[in-house]
A and B are shown apart, each in its own frame.
Chain A
Amino acid sequence: MAPVLDVRDLAVGFPSQIVVHGVSFHIDPGETLALVGESGCGKSVTAFALMRLLPTTARILRGEVWFDGTNLVSASPPVMRGLRGRRIALIQQEPLTSLNPVLTVGAQIAEVIRRHEKLPHAAARRRVGELLDMVGIPEPQRRAEEFPHNFSGGMRQRVMIAMAVACHPLLIIADEPTTALDVTIQAQVLDLLDGLRRQFGMAVLLITHDLGVVAQWADRAAVMYAGRIVEQAPVRPFFRQPRHPYARGLLGASVNEPEGQSGSADSWHYTTRRLNEISGSVASAAGEPGCPFAPRCPEMIPACRAAPPRLEPVGDGLVACFRAAETEVPHVAAVG
């Protein structure tokens, strides 16, 4: 089965620096790929580059993005406009700024529908009501007449999801969709998105920094660091045995126990365990050749500083690390 999205060697730069250094990944129909990383890693830039929504100062330097038979990098603006909202949809983090505050929610959803499908007003309004109902907003017809500020954060995000799925897109890009929401609402919203994905057979590119979200809602994970994908694997093998030192560091730094150790809440407490730090910051390797993680890497060897490692298959996935073949390091000792 051909992938819905096939990104090949995509590079994006701003005038002062290159932010995405040739990333490649693909998403199969109906699957959720999580793009994981911390701030500054380039995951959001990648997402916006896919939809050709970069700020004017940014440029796609090279690469191809194959979507549904079209190369999005070279597609003309009219073609892109036809795709956005209809075949590819975007859900962003802060629905307060994604929704137009002076238009009713129903009007905004209807706008998306009528832009891509020539439906008369009445039919569009009906569709809007169905969509709002589908995303779990009670009294959909009445609430369609309300403005974004009448909705809570979780409700607004549901409205965004309704807008996104209105035309049954092939791919949804969700950029940190629940970061600004409470954890109980987060679970509801992500479950909703997941359910709709299954129902309509859509693929999802889920951008997040939260490893728990990745574990629970993604099929595959791609970890980004300093503009490069450093590890890519199906979710189960990834969490069972992350191969890249950065990915291992992230999991070690998490306050949640990754392994299925039941009971003993004491084992994950500051009195018995010290969090695995990754010292330094992302800027450590700016301007230097070699692996961008090298200055912070506990397993660095001289070869790491010479040239950046390429993504190579290791186990079930791909890893960009010269030392990836070796098994994982022992845990850091508990604090005294």
Chain B
Amino acid sequence: MSLLSVDGLRTRYVTRGRVLNAVDGVSLDVDQGETVGLVGESGCGKSTLGKTILRLLNPVEGSIRIRGNEISDLGQYALLPFRRRMQMVFQDPYGSLNPRQTVETLLTTPLKVHGMGRRAERRRRVRDIVSRVGLPAEALDRYPHEFSGGQRQRIGIARALVLEPDLIVCDEPVSALDLSIQAQILNLLVDLKRDLGLSYLFISHDLSVVRYFADRVLVMYLGRIVESAGHAALWREPRHPYTRALLAAVPRPDPDRPRGPVALRGELSSAEAGGCRFRARCRDAFDRCTSEEPALRTVAPGHLAACHLA
């Protein structure tokens, strides 16, 4: 049984009379001990997907199962025990911590809310967590504004860990950090996974980071998964034209490997009815792409792609 199992999930936004399916029929699994990377550009719905899985947003359709338990339709109160199993690390180190709370308050309140341990035990646990994420014990009495971005992100990670979850959804956790700090945080996440047996759903627009960090990668475009493969296979043999374009667009820090020609036309636009939603930007689109939306199908062992030409 998978740790997390999502099936046919749909999340809707309604603005000024227009209905937008930010997540439009997504299915994915995260197994115990696995890191699944979710990659896509802005507007593809990956953040919305992450928030829906955590029930910060409510899906209109589909199922979310944690260890086989259906949580997509649970009320906030019934959801409480499941919230311990999955937590989130947020993108913005400056907005994700309550500026008026000390680190200690920030970390002990979740334990209080979930009735975990008595006061002494909570303090012990919080001290332990803080040192695990590489911060000194004195940090507990400080306020968020006294820390740098990287340190704040460590606090955010500590907060996600304090309830001892199985699954952590990381929503662009290093995108706002400098390169050298990125490396620190990624190494920390790797160490925590190993030491605590965590599983990650790692959401990012940065292909390079996802390549490094994930075991399996899902590529998202306009609310749907267009490709799913192990990290090595995705890089060796991308099957979907969008994946290929994404890979080609990442500038390598190597002047001797010049960038290829820009493989995409135009820019992201909302999904047009019927047919493949990528066809407006695809150089290889042909008539079948307009009439029939390609299903996500297996093109190689463990490798799925949603393209008629894959």
Contact = CB atoms under 8 A, between A and B. Distances in A.
A–B direct contact (CB < 8 Å)? yes
Given A265-B235, A269-B212, A269-B231, A258 B254 contact: yes
A184 B249 contact: yes
Contacts of A212: 208, 250-253
Given A182-B205, A187-B259, A191-B262, A277 B253 contact: no
Contacts of B179: 38, 209, 211, 250, 253-254
Interface string A188-223: 101100000000000000000111111111000000
A121 B212 CA distance: 54
A152 interface: yes
A38 B250 contact: no
A236 B178 contact: no
A153 B42 CA distance: 11
Given A152-B268, A185-B267, A235 B181 contact: no
A314 B306 CA distance: 52
B139 to A, nearest CB: 14
Nearest to A336: B194
Interface stretch (A4-12, A18-26, A278-286): A278-286
Contacts of B84: none
Contacts of B213: 255, 270
A335 interface: yes
Interface in A237-282: 239, 249-260, 263, 265-266, 268-270, 274-279, 281
B255 A266 contact: no
B100 interface: no
A268 B181 CA distance: 18
B271 to A, nearest CB: 16
Contacts of A33: none
B183 A277 contact: yes
Contacts of A216: 251-252, 255, 258-259
Contact of A270 (B180, B190, B251, B262): B190
Chain B contact residues, majority secondary structure: helix
A102 interface: no
A187 B236 contact: no
A215 B252 CA distance: 7
Contacts of A258: 252-254
Contacts of B268: 152, 182
B148 interface: yes
B180 A182 contact: no
Contacts of B256: 236, 239, 260
Given A268-B211, A278-B183, A184 B245 contact: yes
25 contacts: A39-B178, A155-B267, A184-B249, A186-B249, A187-B248, A187-B249, A187-B251, A188-B262, A210-B251, A211-B179, A212-B208, A212-B250, A216-B251, A216-B258, A216-B259, A235-B255, A253-B179, A255-B211, A255-B212, A258-B252, A260-B256, A265-B211, A265-B232, A270-B186, A274-B187
Contact of A253 (B183, B248, B252, B255): B183
Given A152-B268, A250-B180, A265-B235, A239 B254 contact: yes
Contacts of B253: 211-212, 214-215, 239, 251, 254, 256, 258
Contacts of A209: 178-179
A85 interface: no
Chain A contact residues, majority secondary structure: helix
Nearest to A252: B183
Given A253-B183, A269-B231, A281-B181, A183 B41 contact: yes
Nearest to A191: B262
B250 A268 contact: no
Contacts, number: 142
B235 A182 contact: no
A186 B262 CA distance: 10
Given A155-B267, A260-B257, A38 B178 contact: yes
Contacts of A42: none
Contacts of B211: 255, 265, 268-269
Given A38-B179, A39-B178, A269-B212, 15 more contacts: A38-B180, A38-B181, A182-B41, A182-B205, A183-B207, A184-B41, A186-B251, A188-B262, A188-B264, A212-B250, A239-B253, A255-B208, A256-B253, A257-B254, A260-B256
Interface string B24-59: 000000000000000001100000000000000000
A254 B207 CA distance: 12
B33 to A, nearest CB: 12
Given A187-B262, A256-B208, A236 B255 contact: yes
B115 to A, nearest CB: 35
B209 interface: yes
B69 to A, nearest CB: 30
A154 interface: yes
Contacts of B148: 281, 283
- Which of B179, B249, B252, B257 is most buried by chain A, counting CB atoms within 10 A of its CB? B179
A278 B185 CA distance: 11
A55 to B, nearest CB: 21
A253 B182 contact: yes
Interface string B214-249: 000000000000000001101110000000011011
B267 A277 contact: no
A188 to B, nearest CB: 5
A256 B249 CA distance: 13
A265 B236 contact: yes
A285 to B, nearest CB: 14
Nearest to A186: B249
A296 B103 CA distance: 26
Contacts of B208: 212, 254-256
Nearest to A271: B215
Interface in A132-165: 152-155
A51 B67 CA distance: 59
Contacts of A211: 179, 253
